[in-house]
Amino acid sequence: LVTEPEFNDFAPAWDPDGKYLYFLSYREFNPVYDALHFDLGFPTAMRPLLVTLQKTLGNPFVPEPHPLEEEKEDKDKEEGTQQDGEDKASDEKSEKKDKPEPITIDLDGISQRIVAFPYPRGRYGQIAGIEGKVIFTSFPGEDSVPSDDSRDRPRGTLHVYDFKEQKKDTLVSGIEGFRLSGDGKTLVYVTRNRLRVIKAGKKVEGDKAVSRGGSNRQTGWINLNRIKASIVPTAEWHQMYREAWRLQRDFFWTEDMSGVDWEHVYQRYLPLLDRIATRGEFSDLMWEMQGELGTSHAYEMGGDYRSSPNYAQGFIGADFVYDAENNGYRITHIPHGDVWEASKDSPLNAPGVNVTEGDILLAIGGQSVSETVSPGECLVNLANQEVQATFQNASDGEKRDVTLKILGSERELRYREWVSNNRRYVHEKTDGKVGYIHIPDMGRRGYAEFHRGFLAEVSYPGLLVDVRYNGGGHVSQLLLEKLSRRRIGYDVPRWGTPHSYPDASVLGPIVAVTNENAGSDGDIFSHCFKLMELGLLIGKRTWGGVIGISPHHPFVDGGNTTQPEYSFWFVDVGWSVENYGTDPDIEVDYRPQDYDTEADPQLDRAIAELLQQMEENPPQLPDFGERPRLTLPTLPKAE
């Protein structure tokens, strides 16, 4: 081994001169305190490093004395040689150049010859060696979910370190990745959707070069619009079909394909390729073919579809009904979301708008609404736009115009109201004895939503955890670890209240609610909640899909398929959660009439079970007794 298996070392790259092996490594353990809860993390743990391949090589970052001007090698000797000697030397030099010298690597003690680059810990992407230099990319920290729009992704910086000059420099900013030519003299990098070719290790001009010269040899920018590809869709579909089949054969989580004759499946659907006429039909064929595996998470998505017009629907964030008397739409309900985020709250709740339930909406953007012209029709193609709307006050009939920032989606608004209403309902039904949190998925959003609720709701004696409609992900183990904390002590101050140890641990019972729409990591959370005996699981049997994926093999047309690569096994049921789910301890149906009456029998049953457990075993702080008395010892009297 070149490095010890103590750290995560990756991206090795050779020095063309045969002196060093460059690589990136996660090995900087410098934790940072979390801003919201008691935790520490390692957001910047990576550094570029090198290994000296020969024992005789020193640290290349330590300056060594050398003349200010390099002497010309053998200058006097060259002047005194004869022309024949020069020709012979030239021939030998040329022959030597054609036969590269072998590289010697001293393996003895190589793991002790690791040197870190003089750069701080951070986030690095690639590293490569060129003659006398090394180049690598760094990226800024990412504190939010990246947008699907590539223009919003963090922009990297291409660094270069010159060993001879022992000098740091920046070659170019705004980079996403690069590749070197075979001889290491030319570099191409990508930024947004553009490619640029530059001399490796040479600093280049910025975006000004683009405006002055455009795409040419001087600027290095490549005009991708010149690329024209002739595509035969039927031939492309045949290649993609074979590729998808091969990917499942090579990456499916068990080599025997769970007993499915995969070659037979290939031959079964192959004749249908000659009968499909559109990309959509090819997609249907892929779902049918992969469906023969009888396994979850075998998806097909994306592809070369013709772009359709996008007339984004706008929303005013309210419920309304038509009012024939006023020929407008009466506002019956205005949901409340996060008031500090305009995109997550109703525009009618914005400061100065002052629209209340009962007011009449008469017009949007100067267009009157009516029984045949709904507000939705007037809001087509107005998502995220400022629009003037006319309302009539319910109290005095006064008409007024207000400017609204129209929503592009009500999803976050409606979700926040649903969670807030559930939390309020649980608090009221339990007289403030039980807290409530909902986990929408097991990704970054779900992790955030869990902590948003948990950090406040954990102060209640009992806790109700709602994982219904959980979309899956991969963070269930982090949440279960936190829910499994059991109080074994308290930090008791003179002033204030005792603080639990461990921190953020629930005093009393926990109950979880799940349903058939909780899947993937939602399945795993529900099953392990029971397996870890954290509390009762109430609701319906979960979705039943626990074979994970890591999609990384796109089709030639930009589409993709997923290969179920790793299946979960549990100590109680083995592989049986896949294609079945997990059963609740107490099954409670959500009937159609419950939706109609806005009842929630699953939530009600969970509340009842929690209250019963708390009645049988009331959660309360222990009697700490008298505090220790450390009186001064009585000294014997001197005789």
Using alpha carbons, select from 557, 506, 555 the residue that is nearest to residue 534: 506
Contact assessment for residue 182 and residue 79, using Cβ atoms and an 8 Å cutoff: no
- What pLDDT digit, counting tens, does each position of 110-166 carry? 999 999 999 999 999 999 999 999 999 999 986 655 554 445 565 899 999 999 999
Q: Outline where DSSP puts E strands in 250-395.
A: 300-301, 319-323, 328-333, 360-364, 367-368, 386-392
Domain boundaries, the chain: 8-63+107-226, 233-301, 319-407, 430-546+581-616
- What pLDDT digit, counting tens, does each position of 335-355 carry? 999 999 999 999 999 999 999
φ and ψ at residue 564, rounded to 5 degrees: -60, 105
φ and ψ at residue 37, rounded to 5 degrees: -145, 170
Going by DSSP bridges, is the β-strand pair 510-514/462-466 parallel, antiparallel, or unpaired?
A: parallel
* pLDDT for position 72: 54
The set of long-range contacts for 408-412, using a CB threshold of 8 Å and a minimum separation of 24, is: 408/312, 408/313, 408/314, 408/315, 408/343, 408/383, 408/384, 409/315, 409/383, 410/315, 410/317, 410/335, 412/337, 412/338, 412/343, 412/344
Map tokens 């990384």 to a residue.
552
User: Maximum Cα–Cα distance for the chain, whole Å?
Assistant: 116
* Dihedral in degrees, nearest 10, Cα atoms 435, 441, 442, 446: -60
* pLDDT for position 216: 85
- What pLDDT digit, counting tens, does each position of 258-296 carry? 999 999 999 999 999 999 999 999 999 999 999 999 999
What average pLDDT does range 316-328 have in this prediction? 96
- What pLDDT digit, counting tens, does each position of 393-437 carry? 999 999 999 999 999 999 999 999 999 999 999 999 999 999 999
Give the global pTM.
0.90
Q: Residues of 458-476 as b/e, b for ≥16 C-beta within 10 angstroms?
A: bebbbbbbbbbbbbbbbbb
The percent of residues in the chain predicted with pLDDT above 70, rounded, is 92
Containing H/E element for 173?
strand 167-175
Measured between alpha carbons, how far is 240 from 248 in angstroms, rounded to an integer?
12
Its CATH class, for the domain covering 233-301, is alpha beta
Please check the confidence at residue 90 and state whether its pLDDT lies above 90: no
Three-state secondary-structure class, residue 577: coil
**CA dihedral (243, 245, 250, 252) positive or negative:** positive
Please check the confidence at residue 67 and state whether its pLDDT lies above 80: no
Contact assessment for residue 419 and residue 446, using Cβ atoms and an 8 Å cutoff: no
* pLDDT for position 65: 81
155 vs 86, residue with greater confidence: 155
Tell the CATH superfamily of the 8-63+107-226 domain: YVTN repeat-like/Quinoprotein amine dehydrogenase (2.130.10.10)
- In the predicted model, what is the mean pLDDT of the chain? 92
Please check the confidence at residue 531 and state whether its pLDDT lies above 70: yes
Which DSSP string corresponds to 128-156? EEETTEEEEEEE----SPPPSSGGGSPPE
* pLDDT for position 148: 47
Map tokens 């049988």 to a residue.
616
* pLDDT for position 332: 97
Please check the confidence at residue 368 and state whether its pLDDT lies above 60: yes
Contact assessment for residue 482 and residue 456, using Cβ atoms and an 8 Å cutoff: no
The three state secondary structure string of 6-44 is: CCEEEEEEECCCCCEEEEEEECCCCCEECCCCCCEECCC
The percent of residues in the chain predicted with pLDDT above 90, rounded, is 84
Q: Categorize the per-residue pLDDT at 507 as very low, low, confident or very high, splitting at 50, 70 and 90.
A: very high
* pLDDT for position 99: 72
Structure tokens that stand for 363 in this block: 């017009």
Containing H/E element for 85?
helix 83-98
- What pLDDT digit, counting tens, does each position of 449-501 carry? 999 999 999 999 999 999 999 999 999 999 999 999 999 999 999 999 999 99
Measured between alpha carbons, how far is 573 from 523 in angstroms, rounded to an integer?
13
- Per CATH, domain 319-407 is 1.10.287.130: no
* pLDDT for position 363: 97
Measured between alpha carbons, how far is 37 from 329 in angstroms, rounded to an integer?
45
The reply to whether 319-407 shares the fold of 233-301 is: no
φ and ψ at residue 598, rounded to 5 degrees: 60, 35
Contact assessment for residue 132 and residue 164, using Cβ atoms and an 8 Å cutoff: yes
Q: Is 323 exposed, middle or buried (0-12, 13-18, 19+ CB in 10 A)?
A: middle
* pLDDT for position 215: 83
Measured between alpha carbons, how far is 148 from 152 in angstroms, rounded to an integer?
8
**CA dihedral (361, 367, 370, 372) positive or negative:** negative
* pLDDT for position 209: 39
Structure tokens that stand for 360 in this block: 């009449």
Contact assessment for residue 40 and residue 24, using Cβ atoms and an 8 Å cutoff: no
Q: How many residues does the chain have?
A: 639
Q: Categorize the per-residue pLDDT at 211 as very low, low, confident or very high, splitting at 50, 70 and 90.
A: very low
Structure tokens that stand for 123 in this block: 């986030």
* pLDDT for position 193: 84
What average pLDDT does range 515-535 have in this prediction? 98
Q: Is 64 exposed, middle or buried (0-12, 13-18, 19+ CB in 10 A)?
A: exposed
State the Cα angle at 566 between 563 and 570, rounded to 5°.
Answer: 145
Please check the confidence at residue 372 and state whether its pLDDT lies above 50: yes
Tell the CATH superfamily of the 430-546+581-616 domain: 2-enoyl-CoA Hydratase; Chain A, domain 1 (3.90.226.10)
Structure tokens that stand for 204 in this block: 């280049």
Measured between alpha carbons, how far is 1 from 111 in angstroms, rounded to an integer?
7
* pLDDT for position 155: 84
Residues serving a catalytic function are: 297, 520, 578
16 vs 80, residue with greater confidence: 16
* Dihedral in degrees, nearest 10, Cα atoms 193, 197, 202, 208: -60
Q: Residues of 510-541 as b/e, b for ≥16 C-beta within 10 angstroms?
A: bbbbbbeebbbbbbbbbbbbbeeebbbbbbbb
* pLDDT for position 150: 46
Question: In 10 A of CB 440, how many CB atoms?
Answer: 20
DSSP 445: H
